Amino acid sequence: MNFKKTKQQLRQEEGFSLVEMLVSMALLSLIMMITINIMTVVGKTAQTVDYQVNVTQESSYAAERMRRVIRSADGISFGTDSVTLYIRDQTIIFLAEEIVVDSGEYVLREDSQSVMSSDIIIMKVGASDFFTPINDDSGELVGVRIVFQSFDDDDDEMIAGTIVSTQSINRSLILNR
């Protein structure tokens, strides 16, 4: 075996040059920045989707709850941002209560209890009221129109859902209180 190496063999085994190291570090830094940006975008997208799913489910639950109560009502009266339902000897009030005066942000309540989780707010859709009576051609009350937009309290710029629901009323049960 030859234990002595020539000068040329030693040069080939010296390792990487400073320029090669700097280029490889620059490429690695670029790849890491791109990866971090992609992961940030994916994380924000997942959070946005989670907000939207949560708010949509809460809104759908609230609308379905109101439809069921309205369907079984014996009588109905409307107030500013509220609807009062009379079912046998019970009175149920659905109220859109403004969180801060003139903020345009409301919480939906049923008899002073929040219908949705505390981080869900609702807003009016344009000039629409939350609850609007629907009358037939003779002026008789035949249903209720429910309209609102729902948002996650953390991001009220992003509409998660718009609920537009119409519930007819059993006319034979209406007492017209």
The one-digit pLDDT tens for each residue of the chain (177 residues) are 555 666 666 556 667 888 999 999 999 999 999 999 999 999 988 888 887 888 888 888 888 888 888 888 888 888 888 889 888 888 999 988 888 887 888 888 888 888 887 678 888 888 788 888 888 888 888 888 888 888 877 765 666 777 787 777 764 444 433
Listed residue (175, 174, 177, 146) closest to 162, CA to CA: 146
Q: Which pLDDT does position 1 carry in this prediction?
A: 54
Residue type, 84: T
Answer yes or no: pTM beyond 0.75. no
Helix (H, G, I), strand (E, B) or coil at 139: coil
109: CB partners within 8 A, 6+ apart: 93, 94, 95, 96, 97, 115
Residue 83: closest CA among 169, 149, 144: 144
Alpha-helical runs (H) found in the chain: 7-12, 18-71
Residues linked to residue 77 through DSSP beta bridges, in sequence order: 84
- Closest CA relative to residue 159, chosen from 43, 46, 50, 51: 51
